[in-house]
Each structure stands twice: as C-alpha cells, then as structure tokens.
Structure 1
Amino acid sequence: MRVGIIGFGKMGMLHGALLHSIENVELVAITDTSKFVLNGFKSLFPNIRVFTSYEKMIDSCDLHAVIIATPSFNHVSIAKYALERGLDLFIEKPLSNTLKDCKELLQLAQNRNAVVMIGFCMRYNPMFAKGKEIVDSRIVGDIIKADAYIYCSDVLSQQSGWRFDPAISGGGVLIDFAVHMVDLLYHYFGNASAVSGNISSVYSRQVEDETTAELYFQSGLQATLHASWSKPEYRKPFYKIEIAGSLGSLSITDQDIQLNVGGIEKIYYPEHYEGYYIDIGGPHFSKQMESFVKSVQTRQEPKANLTAGLHTQNIINAIYTSAATGKRQAVSEDDTL
C-alpha cells in the first residue's frame, strides 16, 4: 500500500511515523509548502520523495491513498483532486470549514468506490471505545441524559493565524476542537435532529473560545455540550461524558470509567491498556491509522466515514446558526451516502 501525505505539520508527521511502522505499507512521498520542512525531512529520509505541489505528487507517485493533514479550508479541493484520480483518503478533522464544501465532496464520493475516513481519533481511545460498549450493552438501561465536556488551555491570550479568521477556519473552538466531542456524541447516540447553542469569546476577537449547546437526538435523548479552549486549569486536553440511564449512571474520561449500577465499579486506563504496534501521541492514533489501512486493504467502509464527517458538520453548522438567531435549529438530514 503506497501512501502520500499532504501537509507535513504536527499531524502529518505523526501519521507518517505511524504509517512507516505498519507492515506492507510504504510512505512514498510528502507534500508541504515549507521548503525548510521538506529539506530537513529529505536529509533524514532520502528515499521518500518530497513535493511543494500535491497535484504533482499525486500525478507522479503511483499512490493507493493519501493522508490530508492541511488546514481545513483546503481539505475538499485536495480530496476532490485525489478522488478523481482513484485514490483512497484519510482526511483530518474537521472535514471542511463550510457545510457547502462537505456536501459537494459527498456528492463526488457517491460516484467513486473509494475508502474515505475522517480523523475522529477519540473513537479509538480505549476508554471511550469501552464506554460505547457499555452503552450499547444497555447495562445502564435506557439513556435519559448525557453531559459532555471538552476543555484545554490552548488559547489564553489573543491569537493570530488562519484558525482565528472565521472566513478561513469556519469558526473557533467548536469547529476546531469540540468537533471531537460532537463526533463522540454522534458515535454513541446516533443522529441529532435539532440543537440550541451559545458561543462566546474570552480572548479572541473574531471566533468563539467557548461553546455550550443542547443536542436533541432522534432517539429522544438530550445531551449538553460544554467546550472551551481557554481553561488555564486544563494543561492537557480533557474529555468527559456523563450518562444517566434508567438503571444507573456512567462517567467516561480518556483516563477512567466509573459505572454505577447497584454499586460503583471503576476502570482505569493503565488496566485497560492492551499494547500496540507503536504508540506515538497515544494508542488512539495508532489504532486509527491501523483501521484506515485495514479499510483500504479490505475495501470495507470505515466507521468514521464521510457520512459521520458530514453529520458532525451539520450539527456544528446548526449550533452556529442557533447561536446567531437565539432559536432552536433543526439539523440537516442531507448526510447519507
């Protein structure tokens, strides 16, 4: 399996290291706009080709798949070019900066037999994967309510760059960071039908630093999302889902699980760590990339597919609309392959 990477920043480098460690996978080429990055990489890996143009890389390297790890505003244009040339895709989250672009990509993908996976890595975190097993087993009974929290301390002063220009990024913490938790809620509970949302700024002038939203699912479940990238007490990203069921309760973080059904049972991350072929940045990244490779090799649809990417984008778009209008907003259902 011959793979190229487009965008060789932090995530591109991480995915490259993981790919390089998987049997029967060859990292053939990388594309980046920084000649400093390309020259440094070439000095270490002279057998891997480097490009400043993704079109040239795709057209000249006889690839099977590409990893798209560029800023989100050009995900769709790159993905379209690759799809039209018969390649399979891994696209970092979010799928795009606009809902319109996502729908155009979905329309193109309908006519292609391509594997397309979106980088919702938290689905592969061992604790959240275990938490979904518990929910699906109905140990806590019918789910009545859920509260989701996603916090970090990335923005503690006014920032600049493309992420803080909504015309390019699509927004702030909601689309850039909280997208992980929106996808987890979709992964756990299915399609949302409506939302009510609020956004606010703490340090940023043009994008939101904090978000709260009510998500109303087609199953009847209601979940509350709390998100901020401006919490100084959270040095590392923090993820938590609290679930109330008819038979008990469940609390899940990326480090532990607490199950309360007639008594409290706790599961801690070290007890649940299975060991992985390589662990760089956390096993969820390793499992995610291994899953992508398997999907390409077996031609099986990945769980974090374009439908998941588009429905998550639909939810985010609805939250922004609700925040702007002050009203509950229906979530578009135009997200099926």
Structure 2
Amino acid sequence: MDVGVIGLGKMGLLHAAIFNRLDGCRVTALCDVNELMLKILRSGNDDVRTYTDFQIMLDENDLDIVVVATPVFLHGSMATTALKKGMHVLIEKPMAKTTEECSTIIGNANGSKSLVGYCRRFMPTYNSAKKLIEEEELGKVLSFRSHFYLSQVDKRMEGWQFDPYKGGGGALIDLGCHALDMVHYILGPMRSVSCRTERVISESVEDVARLELTLNSGVRGNLAVSWVESGYRLPEMMLEVTCEKGVARVAEKYLETVSNDGTVNKRFKQCFPDPIPFNIGGREYTAEDLHLVESIRDAQNTKCDIKVGSMPTSVIDSAYLSARDGQPQKVRYL
C-alpha cells in the first residue's frame, strides 16, 4: 500500500516511520510547509516525493492511505479531499474542531476505511479494563471519574493550540478528547454534559475544564482536564470506575482493582501480552497503524472510524456551550 503523510511534526514523522516498516506498505509522498524538513527527508531517498501543497500531492499520487497529522483546523479540508478521491485516511486526534466539520468529513467517506488517532484504544491496560467492565467482573457500574493532567503550560504561550480559531479551544479539546474517547470506549455514549472552564495562564483558551457527565445508561461521573496541573511532567490519563463489588482504576501504565473485601490486584503494562512486531515511539502507535492496514485488507471497519471518532468532538461542543451558558447541555451525536 502506498502511503502519503500530510504534516511532518512529531506525529506525522512517527506514522511515516511506522508505515515504512509495516509489511506491504511504503511511504511514497510527504507534505509539509517546512521546505527544510522536506529537503532533509528527501536526501538519500529518491523514492519519496515531497510537496508543500497537499492538494497537489493528492492529485499527483494514487495513494492507498493518507495520514492527516496537521493542526486540527486543517483536518477537515485535507481528510475530505482524500476521501473524495477514494483514499483511506488516518486522522490524528481530535478529528476536527467541531461536530459540523466532522459531519462534512463523514459525508464524503464513500466507502473508504478510516481511523481517528485515539491511540489509547490500542494500549493493553485500557483494553483489559474494557473487558473487565463489560463482563461485569466487579458487578454493574455505579459511577466513574476521570482526569487527564499535564504540567505543560507554565507561562503564556504562542502557537496554534493557544489560538481558539485554529485549535478550537484549549485543554478541553486538546487533552479532553482522549479522556472522553476512553469513557466512550469503556462505558458507552453520553446523554448530557455540564462544564466549567478556567483560564489560569492562557489569555484566549481554557487551561482547566471540569465536566459532569451522564451516560445513556444513567450512570453519572466527572472528568477533569488541565495542562497547568503541578507535578505531572509526564501526562497522566486515569479512569476510575466504581462498581457494585469494587473499584477499577486504569491508566497507561497499570490496571488496578480493589474489591469490597479489600483484595487489591494491580497489574502493570509489562504484564500484559504484547504481540506488536516493533516499537517506534510507542507500541500503541504501531498497533494503531497495523489495525488500519489489516482493516483495509479485510474490508472491515476500524474500531475508531470517523463516525466513532467524531463522538468526543460532539461532547466537547456541548461542553463548551455549557461553559458559556452555565447550563447542562444535551450531547448531540452525528
């Protein structure tokens, strides 16, 4: 399969390296506005064509897969153009700035396979937690809480993530989309959301968001995100689910259960089976890209296609509306 990558920041370069190592795949086209980066990548690799205009790249190459790893405000036009040409797409998270943009992307799918880059769906700790909850090993779910914390912003910063037009918001859309996707993945869709946001350092976007969520099942929980949280040099996303017979806590590095009788079982990620053939920047990314390739070959939908991948964006839209108006809002999925 011929692969093209649009956007050569950290994630674009990572996906390019992975696809080049997957059996039956090769990266044949790269696009970025940084001509120096393209020159470096071109040197010693005559088989790769480079572009500064994604439209020209898509017009001149018959690609099987297109990776969209640009700032989120560009996702809609790039993904839609690729899908209209019958190409399969991998779109980095969040899928788009708004539910409306997600709808446009979905409306142009035309049978192509798609995957939105919610990589934690490919981590063994979260998948084991999902199985535990679905099989009711601790009984029925009663409530939940989640957080995504990071000590990233300690002064006023510039860049597209701090521009509400380009980024769509702040910590909620950037970090919260991952946490919301995991609630969807493990616990199911949401009925309503209430949200409060805070600006601690940033001038134009929120640094902190606190959400109260009600699932379609009636279960309630809360979710907090912050990129100004002290003590989190590395990001931590945690989901705690309280059930009839105990509590389950899951993060990237571990899965812990505490039964009502006091029994504690904590397993670290190294304890889980890991069939991934190689590791470039995180095994979940290899698993993610391999899943897309296998889904294309098997003519199956991925487990986070553009319809599923739009769901966190729908919740975020309602959360921002709630924060603005001070009232709970219904979640309206596509």
User: If the TM-score is normalised by the length of the shorter chain, which range does it land in?
Assistant: over 0.9
Alpha-carbon distance, 1:45 to partner = 2.5
2:14 is matched by which residue type in structure 1?
L
Distance 2:106 2:10 in 1: 27
Distance 1:108 1:22 in 2: 27
1:140-175 CA-to-partner distances (Å, cap 9, x unmatched) read 111001110111112111001111110221100111
1:93-151 CA-to-partner distances (Å, cap 9, x unmatched) read 11111222111222222xx1110110000111121111111111110111001110111
TM-score (norm 1): 0.96
1:193-232 to structure 2, matched below 5 A, reads 193-232=191-230
Asked if 1:170 corresponds to 2:164, the answer is no
Q: Aligned residue for 1:125? A: 123
Alpha-carbon distance, 1:44 to partner = 4.1
Let me know the Cα RMSD of the aligned residues: 1.2
Q: Structure 1 stretches (4+) deviating beyond 3 angstroms?
A: none
Q: Aligned residue for 1:296? A: 296
Distance 1:320 1:133 in 2: 32
Equivalent of 1:179 in 177, 180, 186: 177
CA contact (8 A) 1:156 1:232 kept: no
Question: What secondary structure, in the 3-state scheme, does the structure 2 residue paired with 1:140 have?
Answer: coil
Q: Aligned residue for 1:39? A: 39
CA contact (8 A) 1:164 1:171 kept: yes
Q: Structure 2 regions of 5+ residues with no counterpart?
A: none
Moved more, 40-49 or 188-197: 40-49
Equivalent of 1:252 in 250, 264, 271: 250
1:179-212 CA-to-partner distances (Å, cap 9, x unmatched) read 1011000111111010011111111000001111
Question: What secondary structure, in the 3-state scheme, does the structure 1 residue paired with 2:79 have?
Answer: helix
Q: How many residues get paired?
A: 332
Distance 1:136 1:60 in 2: 46
CA contact (8 A) 1:32 1:38 kept: yes
Asked if 1:328 corresponds to 2:328, the answer is yes
Q: Aligned residue for 1:313? A: 313
2:65 is matched by which residue type in structure 1?
A
Question: What secondary structure, in the 3-state scheme, does the structure 2 residue paired with 1:82 have?
Answer: helix
1:230-245 to structure 2, matched below 5 A, reads 230-245=228-243
Distance 1:256 1:93 in 2: 23
Asked if 1:68 corresponds to 2:32, the answer is no
TM-score (norm 2): 0.97
Q: Aligned residue for 2:268? A: 268
Q: Aligned residue for 1:53? A: 53
CA contact (8 A) 1:216 1:223 kept: yes
1:145 is matched by which residue type in structure 2?
S
Distance 2:209 2:148 in 1: 10
Alpha-carbon distance, 1:46 to partner = 2.7
1:283 is matched by which residue type in structure 2?
R
Alpha-carbon distance, 1:276 to partner = 2.4
Alpha-carbon distance, 1:257 to partner = 1.3
Distance 1:173 1:23 in 2: 37
CA contact (8 A) 1:135 1:188 kept: yes
Alpha-carbon distance, 1:52 to partner = 0.9
Asked if 1:82 corresponds to 2:82, the answer is yes
Question: What secondary structure, in the 3-state scheme, does the structure 2 residue paired with 1:313 have?
Answer: helix
CA contact (8 A) 1:89 1:116 kept: yes
1:252-276 CA-to-partner distances (Å, cap 9, x unmatched) read 1111111123421111122225252
Q: Aligned residue for 2:144? A: 146
Distance 2:103 2:37 in 1: 33
Moved more, 267-276 or 4-13: 267-276
Q: Structure 1 regions of 5+ residues with no counterpart?
A: none
Distance 1:188 1:321 in 2: 25
Question: What secondary structure, in the 3-state scheme, does the structure 1 residue paired with 2:242 have?
Answer: strand
CA contact (8 A) 1:118 1:306 kept: yes
Moved more, 211-220 or 40-49: 40-49
Q: Aligned residue for 1:159? A: 157
